[in-house]
């Protein structure tokens, strides 16, 4: 009987059961997230991320603290023993730590060759095979006593060697080194402070825990310089909570001959290319008419942007404009998120210093304990050596008469009453040193060792003595490595008050509002080229007003709201475009539409609200003037009757009211009393009968009536007169244009 052949399906294994969302998160995502947080993106109390620490420690072990410059590729290759993330990532880390890149106030790497610039997006660094590097002298303060058990060591990723978990830094690098990192669900952004100011602050806090930090640490200091706009409230928030922002401006000079502006320092958060791109964008949009050219003049001597201005331009006003509209003034968002004992914590400056002091105290204790044990061991050996001084010949005799090698140590122990360690030391002394002079010289060290041991034991028991050591280290570091502050401090009271509109250009424009709520701002030269306005099907002009770019605009809506805006809030456009749709632009409520527009510069004159019930309300425009920049005013006019028309009047004049039964009434606006309350119902001007309502209202100058006295009334209210044939709407189209 033939054996049944197995089918292909039977050979195929059953597919694995898919993992659930919770299991996937626990087994795959959470370990990744924790790895990014703990081992990549967030700095620790020594001011370094793991990638920085691995690189610097590799350079230290290669002897680059005192040696000559070596090829960067050599360093990168050696660092891969500790950092398996690839040569590209390692080299980028080195670039940022280098003096040539200028990203740090206190560079850790001395560099030779092109390492790019932190202030340039396009100035790329050269490949690692072309550049050279070594450790900067300040790294002595980072690796001091690292071989004296000051920090813990752990195996590297393949257990082939060990690396330090932290570096025993003798000054708060966490505050002098700028650090930025994005982890999973959290981020860190630490600004740099001046080394001397940080050292002074730490010393002051050790003497007085309630010391006001602002007195010795007036603000951040950035490697790219600039001017820090010091706002005490913002700075206090950063110092206390570790979160907040500080504003930094570029530093510039004006050439007295040409009037050109030379920008020499920029905010740390931007680049030369970003600034120039923004200036060009604004120039093309017609918002920087004072400029004629902008150039990147950066070279080997440093960064420089040249701005060429047109004749008659005020450089100070132009710079105020550029500060507002470009990254020449930018904010540095502080987020002092640091790993403390493997836990991410957002700490203020005072808390960071306290944590660093705790870390540094532990380093000094461990170093002292290491030296203490070493000194005690040496003292123990010298005490044993002292015992054979009384009878050197006896020691020689014991060694010479002992037949077996393994019995030498026990016999010495018995002969002189020493322990095994002391006996081992005595047995290993060279024959040439078994003389009285040598031993006496060695014994002189006993008193000195005993004194040192007493001092070290006192240090371990006294926080005051440890603080003195920390203070001494900080004073030494400041004396050796302090540099003048690069970022100039400018306090709020030193800033010149600049009106928001001073830097905005004012020029003639015409505002157009359509009945469907589309708005345009058009310059006269554009209107001369094409005055035919484009509208959507069924839409038409509601109002056109000649004014200026700085005019105040008030848009009244069907919900009795008034939305305020500035003319310069809208882009210049053309007649051939539809324009801005105001309900969307001004973020109006659903189904809210624009029913009228007022344009003013000084809030003079009145606005007449004409309602379908025949009432007219006269409200001064000044009622809509606000001290704060409120964008929406509620109850802008009465809701007791639907709005038929609005008229903006600079002074009292004759107006024509027209009802749905084709009656007209001419009223002088002075007869309508002015009401300060915006939501006033007004007074009855034109009496309405039956189902007829007030339909239109225009000034007499716009109406073009043939017989003004026929429609005029001196008393209110009045019914009006039927429109004559020559005054009917078919002949006077303007009657139906508000």
Catalytic residues: 130
In the DSSP assignment, the letter for residue 27 is I
CA 561 vs. chain centroid, Å, equals 37
d(CA 288, CA 282): 6
Sheet architecture: strand order including 132-135: 70-71, 132-135, 109-112
Beta-carbon count within 10 A of 679 CB: 16
Helix or strand run (H / E) with residue 200: helix 195-207
- Among 226, 222, 239, smallest CA distance to 106 is for 222
d(CA 456, CA 61): 29
Q: Are 334 and 352 in contact (CB under 8 A)?
A: no
Number of H helices, E strands in the chain: 24, 33
CA angle at 106 for the pair 140 and 58, rounded to the nearest 5°: 45
DSSP for 604-650, written as a single string = -SEEEEEETTSEEEEEEGGGG--SS---EESS-S--SS-EEEEEEES
Beta-carbon count within 10 A of 200 CB: 18
Q: Are 227 and 490 in contact (CB under 8 A)?
A: yes
Write the Ramachandran bin of 533: left for phi over 0, alpha for psi from -120 to 50, otherwise beta: beta
CA 250 vs. chain centroid, Å, equals 15
* Residue bearing tokens 């040249």: 306
């Amino acid at each position: 009987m033939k054996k049944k052949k197995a089918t292909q399906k039977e050979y195929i294994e059953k597919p694995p059961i898919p993992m659930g969302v919770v299991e996937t998160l626990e087994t795959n995502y959470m370990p990744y997230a924790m790895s990014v947080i703990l081992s990549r993106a967030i700095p620790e109390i020594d001011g370094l991320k793991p990638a920085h620490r691995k690189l610097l420690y590799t350079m230290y072990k290669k002897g680059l603290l005192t040696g000559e410059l070596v090829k960067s590729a050599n360093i990168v290759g050696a660092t891969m023993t500790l950092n398996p993330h690839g040569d590209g990532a390692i080299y980028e880390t080195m670039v940022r730590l280098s003096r040539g890149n200028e990203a740090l106030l206190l560079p850790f790497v001395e560099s030779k060759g092109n390492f790019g610039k932190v202030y340039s997006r396009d100035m790329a660094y050269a490949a690692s095979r072309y550049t050279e590097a070594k450790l900067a002298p300040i790294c002595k303060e980072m690796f001091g006593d690292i071989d004296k058990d000051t920090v813990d060591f752990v195996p590297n990723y393949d257990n082939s060697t060990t690396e330090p978990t932290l570096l025993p830094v003798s000054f708060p690098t966490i505050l002098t080194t700028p650090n930025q990192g994005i982890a999973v669900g959290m981020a860190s952004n630490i600004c740099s402070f001046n080394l001397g100011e940080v050292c002074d602050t730490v010393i002051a806090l050790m003497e007085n825990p309630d010391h006001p930090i602002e007195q010795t640490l007036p603000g951040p200091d950035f490697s790219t310089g600039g001017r820090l706009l010091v706002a005490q409230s913002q700075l206090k928030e950063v110092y206390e909570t570790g979160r907040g922002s500080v504003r930094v401006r570029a530093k510039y000079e004006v050439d007295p001959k040409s009037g050109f502006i030379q920008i020499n320092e920029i905010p740390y958060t931007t680049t030369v290319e970003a600034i120039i791109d923004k200036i060009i964008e604004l120039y093309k949009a017609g918002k920087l008419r004072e400029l004629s050219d902008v150039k990147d003049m950066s070279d080997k001597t440093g960064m420089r942007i040249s701005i060429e201005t047109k004749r008659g331009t005020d450089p100070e006003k132009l710079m105020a404009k550029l500060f507002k509209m470009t990254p020449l003034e930018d904010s540095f968002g502080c987020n002092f998120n640091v790993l403390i004992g493997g836990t991410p914590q957002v700490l203020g400056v005072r808390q960071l210093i306290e944590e660093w002091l705790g870390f540094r105290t532990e380093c000094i204790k461990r170093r002292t304990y290491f030296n203490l044990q070493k000194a005690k061991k040496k003292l123990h050996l010298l005490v044993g050596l002292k015992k054979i001084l009384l009878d050197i010949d006896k020691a020689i005799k014991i060694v010479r008469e002992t037949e077996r090698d393994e019995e030498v140590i026990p016999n010495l122990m018995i002969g002189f009453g020493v322990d095994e360690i002391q006996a081992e030391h005595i047995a290993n002394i060279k024959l040439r040193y078994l003389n009285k002079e040598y031993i006496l010289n060695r014994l002189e060290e006993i008193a000195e060792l005993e004194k040192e041991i007493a001092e070290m034991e006192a240090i371990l028991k006294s926080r005051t003595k440890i603080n003195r050591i920390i203070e001494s280290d900080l004073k030494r570091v400041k004396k050796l490595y302090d540099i003048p502050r690069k970022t100039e401090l400018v306090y709020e009271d030193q800033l010149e008050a600049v009106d928001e509109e001073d830097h905005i250009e004012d020029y003639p424009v015409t505002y157009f509002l359509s009945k469907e709520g589309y708005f345009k701002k058009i310059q006269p030269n554009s209107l001369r080229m094409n005055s035919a306005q484009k509208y959507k099907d069924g839409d038409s002009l509601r109002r056109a007003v000649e004014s200026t770019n700085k005019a105040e605009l008030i848009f009244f809506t069907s919900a009795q709201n008034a939305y305020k805006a500035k003319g310069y809030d809208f882009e210049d456009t053309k007649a051939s475009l539809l324009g801005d749709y105001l309900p969307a632009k001004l973020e109006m409520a659903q189904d809210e539409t624009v029913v009228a527009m007022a344009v003013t510069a000084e809030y003079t004159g009145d606005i007449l609200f004409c309602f379908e019930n025949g009432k007219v309300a006269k409200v001064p425009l000044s009622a809509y003037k606000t001290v704060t920049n409120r964008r929406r005013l509620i109850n802008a006019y009465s809701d007791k009757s639907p709005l038929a028309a609005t008229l903006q009047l600079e002074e009292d004049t004759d107006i024509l009211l027209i009802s749905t039964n084709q009656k007209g009434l001419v009223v002088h606006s002075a007869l309508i009393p002015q009401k300060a309350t915006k939501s006033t119902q007004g007074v009855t001007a034109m009496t309405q009968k039956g189902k007829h309502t007030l339909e239109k209202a225009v000034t007499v100058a716009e109406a073009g009536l043939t017989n003004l006295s026929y429609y005029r009334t001196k008393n209110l209210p009045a019914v009006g007169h039927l429109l004559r044939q020559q005054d009917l709407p078919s002949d006077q189209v303007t009657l139906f244009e508000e």
